[in-house]
Homo-oligomer: A and B are copies of this chain.
Amino acid sequence: MPKSRKTDISISVIKRLPRYYRFVGELIKQGVVRSSSGDLAEKMSLTASQIRQDLNCFGGFGQQGYGYNLIELRKEIGKILGVDCGYKTVLFGAGNLGKAIASHMNFEKYGCELIGIFDSDLRKTNERVANLKIMPVSDMERFFEEKKPEIAILCIPKASAQELADKLVAMGIKAFWNFSHYDLKVSHKDIIVENAHLGDSLMMLSYGLTNSNNEEAEEE
């Protein structure tokens, strides 16, 4: 049984949790049922002591001399991450990226349920994506009153992102998955924003290549 959780867990530990969840899931698929922190460390390119420290923050799941029961570990990490919560999720902006996110992501696996897609372009209304009909923005109010979604995915141009976000917060949205290349300002501290700034991510590659090239040039 896991011990009680620490209350002040650093964000870097929390950010590693999805990775633990993925890795442990992979091992279980391969038929592995238990693993020492050393084994896990090797597979995840971390150190055994880091793994023990990380998992200890959440109450520790290992037993001395036995290691981790992977099925239990995965269940517990999943519980911490909330992967069974099925948070009601709506997506805004059914362009290329929005449609791909809607169809590609296995939302239920990650604790969410996609229940609505909105687009301001009326020509898209009633087009189907991921088994959902695209709705016009004018349907938002009625839909929100009835369904009370908690997560909004923003795949809209950055120029409209802040205005929409403000409106959505007022309508009860508690978390944003933000693909608009814009850093949302949210007035309530409890609103969660997870940015997926793909352009920033791509620039990190250009940075890496440019600067490794520079280093080579300097060495010559």
Contacts and interface: CB of A to CB of B under 8 A. Distances in A.
A141 interface: no
Contact of A18 (B17, B110, B192, B199): B199
Copies of the polypeptide in the assembly: 2
A75 to B, nearest CB: 14
Contacts of A174: 209, 212
A205 B183 contact: no
B87 A96 contact: no
Interface stretch (A33-41, A62-70, A76-84, A120-128): A76-84
B18 A82 contact: no
B107 A202 contact: yes
Interface residues of A, number: 59
A207 B194 CA distance: 11
A109 B194 contact: no
Contacts of A95: 104
A82 B201 contact: no
B111 A206 contact: yes
B111 A203 contact: yes
A14 to B, nearest CB: 6
A177 B207 CA distance: 13
Nearest to A203: B18
Contact of A82 (B183, B198, B209): B209
A148 interface: no
B175 A208 contact: yes
A24 to B, nearest CB: 13
Interface string A133-175: 0000000000000000011000000000000000000000011
A203 B104 contact: no
A105 interface: yes
A203 B17 contact: yes
Interface of A: 14-15, 17-19, 21-23, 44-45, 80-83, 85, 87, 95-97, 99-101, 103-107, 109-112, 150-151, 174-175, 177, 181, 183, 185, 190, 192, 194, 196-212
3 smallest beta-carbon distances between A and B, as pairs: A82-B210, A111-B206, A100-B100
